[in-house]
């Protein structure tokens, strides 16, 4: 099977390995470094919700799923592209390109939907009453997460393998107009409006509450709320800015040259490497969790000494403050219980 890529101004481009005008070693290093860095950071981001007690709350399940959406790209798309480069073009084929397109679209759809759920959770927790927030977190959060991933993967598969989406690999057709409009509205336009409303409302409420309640502004809860809401806004704005050029070209300028088209696509894909880094560098809880994970992954072989003692003290402290000592995913599975919802609500809102 012939390799991908088209001739444009004498330069061959590949949707999988980018411009053949660039040195192969440079492209390989770029993809390997991006994959290793992105996989490590996103893996630590997801693991942080298990090892840090301030993050181990049922309301953070959707935020953890955002990291899992980015892991699809950094552990699937980028390593495969590196392997294709190592094959000297032998595997730079249409089926491989379709797999990468499918994974990227599924990751993007799920990321957009999960961020909408994160914004909704933040809005109910900070802007609505306790009873309303308890109703929200009493839903089957684990089931919702599975449904979101399922819908995203099924929709991406239909679009790629039935030819209803834009032909990213060969650029020979524009797909089905109604399918593309429908997916754009459902997975991008409507979620963007809901997400921006929820995130901005949460930021405004945190600032308003800090002005009205002195004890809240002096509490650790204010620091966590302020940091998390601002980081959520920053991460989502980065997501929108990274994908906007590609979507504009895809819908308004589908005949643009390969150079601009594929570079815009890869800029959007590389965003998955940096989003989780924002949380690890600007949030105290994530920094502490990342430090623990790095130390015990790279410097120690067992969980002994101060770490286990520190976490034992944290567990004892949580037991005295009404925290729920269960696994975050176990919480998600049992989130339909009214008692579980009320307990989680108190845990999340405790100052």
pLDDT (tens digit per residue) in 6-51:
433 344 678 888 778 888 888 889 899 999 999 999 999 999 999 8
pLDDT over 70 (residue 320): no
Domain locations along the chain: 6-349
pTM of the shown model: 0.81
Report whether 272 contacts 107 (CB < 8 A). Answer: yes
The dihedral region occupied by 163, where left means phi > 0, alpha psi between -120 and 50, and beta the remainder, is left
pLDDT over 70 (residue 312): no
- How far is it, in rounded angstroms, from Cα 322 to Cα 350? 9
Report whether 107 contacts 115 (CB < 8 A). Answer: no
Q: What is the mean pLDDT of residues 248-261?
A: 85
pLDDT over 80 (residue 263): yes
pLDDT over 70 (residue 261): yes
pLDDT digits (tens, 9 = 90+) for 112-139: 999 999 999 999 999 999 899 988 888 8
CATH 1.20.1070.10 fits 6-349, yes or no: yes
Which of 29-38, 186-195, 262-271, 287-296 holds the top average pLDDT?
Answer: 186-195
pLDDT over 60 (residue 181): yes
Tokens standing for residue 329: 């995913």
Among the residue ranges 139-148, 161-170, 175-184, 332-341, the one predicted with the least confidence is 332-341
């Amino acid at each position: 099977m012939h390799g991908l890529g088209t001739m444009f101004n004498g330069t061959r481009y590949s949707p999988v390995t980018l411009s053949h005008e660039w040195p192969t070693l440079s492209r390989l290093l770029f993809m390997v470094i991006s994959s290793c860095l992105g996989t490590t950071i996103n893996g630590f981001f997801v693991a942080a919700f298990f090892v840090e007690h301030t993050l181990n709350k049922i309301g953070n399940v959707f935020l953890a799923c955002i990291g899992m959406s980015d892991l699809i790209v950094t552990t699937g798309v980028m390593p495969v592209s590196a392997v294709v480069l190592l094959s000297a073009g032998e595997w730079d084929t249409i089926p491989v390109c379709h797999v990468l397109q499918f994974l990227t679209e599924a990751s993007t759809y799920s990321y957009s939907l999960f961020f909408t759920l994160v914004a909704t959770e933040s809005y109910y927790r900070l802007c609505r009453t306790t009873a309303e927030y308890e109703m929200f977190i009493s839903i089957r959060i684990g089931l919702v997460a599975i449904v979101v991933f399922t819908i995203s993967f099924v929709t991406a598969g239909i679009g790629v393998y039935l030819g209803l989406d834009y032909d990213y690999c060969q650029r020979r057709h524009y797909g089905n107009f109604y399918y593309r409009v429908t997916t754009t509205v459902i997975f991008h336009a409507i979620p963007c409006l809901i997400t921006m409303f929820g995130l901005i409302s949460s930021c405004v409420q945190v600032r308003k509450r800090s002005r009205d309640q002195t004890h809240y502004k002096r509490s650790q809860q204010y620091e966590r709320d302020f940091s998390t809401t601002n980081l959520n806004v920053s991460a989502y704005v980065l997501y929108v800015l990274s994908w906007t050029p590609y979507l504009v070209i895809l819908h308004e300028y589908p005949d643009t040259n390969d150079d601009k088209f594929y570079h815009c696509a890869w800029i959007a894909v590389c965003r998955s490497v940096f989003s989780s880094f924002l949380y690890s560098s600007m949030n105290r809880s994530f920094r502490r969790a990342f430090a623990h994970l790095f130390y015990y992954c790279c410097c120690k072989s067992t969980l002994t000494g101060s770490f286990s003692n520190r976490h034992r003290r944290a567990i004892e402290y949580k037991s005295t403050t009404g925290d729920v000592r269960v696994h975050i995913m176990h919480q998600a599975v049992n989130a339909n219980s009214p008692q579980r919802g009320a307990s989680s609500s108190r845990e999340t809102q405790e100052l």
